[in-house]
Structure 1
């Protein structure tokens, strides 16, 4: 039992990891974007307001005193774009099959790409624009890394001024688009945790739906089973009644009573029971009429011609013939037939 539980936990963890990797490759959920965009330039900071029409210039100011910026942005979230001198940018090519495991591969190769140890830097990556539009057998990535000391010197003045950066990108990237890179320490872990929660919630919802469907299906199966048992019990009771009636009639001394049971007073249920025994499973009836000893049988069959012999072999029916041409039905592909027969012992006019 312990081994089964361990196997289930491992499978669930692997599935959760695959769902998180898929979300990362599909950029789900999308990264946050600040209300204001602050871009580092060599001698100053430039503040823009982000809008759908493009960045709107709001103010310029020094990098060492951000009082002016605090008055502009207030408590709104800010996206900071670092100058090129702070970051290291590298290109990396991976097989397309590794799309759902990019983060793990980059972490493994990170120290070969940048000059800092893994525990002294923050990094992020994005697919090149043409990769998203035209998938191929290779992935071309841009890996961006910044040392933690450089990151602190860049964002600590913002925190000291009461400004909250939510994204840290590169000044070289287009200002009109949301940054595909977020170097803010802890942002990647927070995004991964958010994706894990989404994946876990999705799995719980799917499990709940599956459980509900299994429960509903099981209940319906139970109801159908109970209904089948009820019908079977009714048929057993009906057949028992018919058998008792036959035995009682056969024990009667009067031959006229026997003849009346067989032919003159044969109940419809006896005839139906006889037909249910002789008619093959590939045939089903739609009409059964008895009038003046004439019996009209209609329905559908895969082999209507064989029914004449089957009916003739019955102890209750004779003189069976088709009363209408046999035609093939276009809806179910079976032969539609109509047979006229007479009860055995009836006088033929």
Structure 2
């Protein structure tokens, strides 16, 4: 657990900074319209907006935490709303600091807010005016502070209209401090730093999970392919060994079996050559079947019985006989015969 906590904190800090940078960049690219609500003595607000249309009210009432005026939704939606409250709602105090503290002004005031105001840091909202030199080695700033409850009553009244951001300010006339912002809230829908940081963390987690699954699948596929490759290599080695063993000789070797088959199986070319030598010129073979060592021929001849002794005289044939009756049709030029014989395997034709 102790190992993952620093990693989680580092990732959270990184995604938070990235989210803040993205939102800041988006705000610079897409600048929302500024709508300024300036509080009057009666508690209502005067409206200041660039390019204000006729249907946008010039003044808005405020009572019991609710703004009352027509057409507020198109006025506030997507805009930056600055609520300028009267100074009487704030505690204003000057603060003198060393000149080198100008870069750390907000942090210094936050650390001392419980001494400068009646409220703690969690209860108060505050802002500081731009520091002004009050001597060679000192600066002076005006602090405007009020309770968070007061500021949020105005912010909540506006946030229901979905503005891009809401800021609470006041005009400090003392020492020409100008306008001081005490609170700001980004309200661009769901695009705030917290939501975007959480989305980035979820995206990183999804990418990490996908990478882990990919690595696991790749390792499994690699192991499976490696096993198949080993099995193929083993089979190839076994087959090569068997071929080498057969090449060394022996009656049971594959080479010997092929050699025996070569001499024991009759060759079709030799059978045809032998038949052409023993059959007379007036004999025509129309069908020939050779299966293993059995030969069957059919055809037409002038003298069918004389073919039997002629075939048996050849050293390539034996046991010649008729396997079907000899017939003679009126249209045939001779007798139609059907003879079968056993073939004696030989690889050379007898002269």
Question: Structure 2 length as normaliser, TM-score?
Answer: 0.43
Bigger CA radius of gyration? 2
